[in-house]
Amino acid sequence: MNRTLVVEPEAEAEIASAAAWYELRSPSVRVGFLRAVDGALSFIRQNPSQYQIIYRHTRRAVLRRYPYALLYTASDSEVIVIACLDTRRDPERQEERAR
């Protein structure tokens, strides 16, 4: 079942910030990052239960080839992406954002 996908404004800002950082290094790397985000969003929307629960009902989908993860919650009708976090940073921040 396809669910409605909602990306919270803060998550959108985090994705845009990471993409801008990659753009400074290489435009093609930025494109690759955004494709990885789109791919993860597609997988999350189609089968949100495939990813690990990290706190209560919050799950984490790690991006392919990039050190980022999307944190999200899911119901029968929608998937809400709440964050896009750099996994190299403080792991306590991930748990804090999952709450």
- Confidence at residue 41, expressed as pLDDT on a 0 to 100 scale: 96
> Up-side HSE of residue 97: CA atoms within 13 Å toward CB?
23
Distance of alpha carbon 14 from alpha carbon 3, whole angstroms: 22
Q: What is the pTM of this model?
A: 0.86
68-74 β-sheet, strand order: 4-7, 78-86, 68-74, 58-62, 52-55
Taking alpha carbons only, the member of 44, 57, 42 closest to residue 99 is 57
Domains identified in the chain and CATH numbers: 4-98 (3.30.2310.20)
- Confidence at residue 92, expressed as pLDDT on a 0 to 100 scale: 60
Q: How confident is the model at residue 95 (pLDDT cuts 50, 70, 90)?
A: low
Taking alpha carbons only, the member of 99, 39, 98, 96 closest to residue 66 is 39
- Confidence at residue 93, expressed as pLDDT on a 0 to 100 scale: 58
Angle of helix 9-25 relative to helix 27-46, nearest 10 degrees, comes to: 150
pLDDT digits (tens, 9 = 90+) for 9-65: 999 999 999 999 999 999 999 999 999 999 999 999 999 999 999 999 999 999 999
